[in-house]
Chains A and B, each alone.
Chain A
């Protein structure tokens, strides 16, 4: 497997897109990963599942706008240069 940095960027973009399309109400709540279902009090350390849910929610909140920009740029570049 010969990677270039460009393929790493593409893979990272696709992964972040995959996290961003997980809809809060329609999907995550149905499998028990909604963010209001995970707060288990102020114990010492949260488990893996609540850490993951926090991570998903933070990625979705933070990357929403930059993803629009980066996706648009990638689409234009792919259309132009293949």
Chain B
């Protein structure tokens, strides 16, 4: 009896409307509520009532019904919260790639000088996914390149006999932090210059993640051909990446209808693009020179 009164007090604390604490009234109303499955009560009241049902034997299947309804409610809440922060559909757009796109994009990153048309294609004002448009940014290449870079850094440090497992984590988090800082700086620059463009955060993440491809090539060349090969590959990939970034950001920042905006705004956009491009070789050098000695 004391048990029930304890749960009675608990249930009355969770219930959304005022009710006295006496146990018989609590049992009666719980019997009344059990006939409405998947009800409109607050989840706390559901938990209190279902715990009480577990204590009472004949209502065990009702408790299971409550449990499943609570689980589905919880899943809906989690989905809603997740969709508030990360729009999964927009993320899926960046991973819609195929092998031909990846091959051509990698070739473009290494040799962008002969590419003619840098404009992104749209269909009914919606940008085409990377499968159909070579100029569309994607997040698959940066992700894979980042992971490859971390593994390659581990290999290079192992060749120099400076490897330990903590170094891998440190290298990964360092590279990640630099990328985050670059994306934040770009976002701040775009906000201050009031550039109204299609560039979302994921676009900037994609464009700043393309430098990992250059880093991997530089490190591999440095490992194969020594320090001279590293500097040659560094110079080549840096200039290719700078050209790529400048061309891509110029056309992406203007948007589908290229009006251009007033003159000082265009100048600010130009400075921003050039600054982003000039930052790339510095960060490539910074993150790789300790791997190739």
Contacts and interface: CB of A to CB of B under 8 A. Distances in A.
Interface of A: 1-5, 7-8, 44-46, 48, 51-52, 55
B82 to A, nearest CB: 21
A33 to B, nearest CB: 14
B177 A5 contact: yes
Interface residues of B, number: 16
Interface stretch (B32-40, B88-96, B144-152, B190-198): B190-198
A2 B174 contact: yes
B194 A4 contact: no
A4 B173 contact: yes
Nearest to B169: A4
Contact of A55 (B174, B191, B261, B265): B191
A48 B193 contact: yes
B194 A3 contact: no
B232 interface: no
Contacts of A2: 170, 174
A7 B180 CA distance: 13
- Residue among A1, A5, A44 with max Cβ neighbours from chain B (10 Å): A5
B176 interface: yes
A48 B176 CA distance: 29
Contacts of A7: 177
Interface in B238-279: 261-262, 265, 268
B194 A45 contact: yes
Nearest to A8: B177
Nearest to B261: A45
A45 B265 contact: yes
B191 A45 contact: no
Contacts of A52: 192
Nearest to B181: A8
A3 B192 contact: no
10 contacts: A1-B174, A2-B170, A3-B177, A4-B173, A8-B181, A48-B192, A51-B192, A51-B194, A52-B192, A55-B192
B122 interface: no
Contacts of A45: 194, 261-262, 265
Nearest to A9: B177
Contacts of B193: 48
Contacts of B181: 8
A5 B173 contact: yes
B178 interface: yes
Contacts of B174: 1-4
A59 to B, nearest CB: 12
A2 B168 CA distance: 11
A79 to B, nearest CB: 25
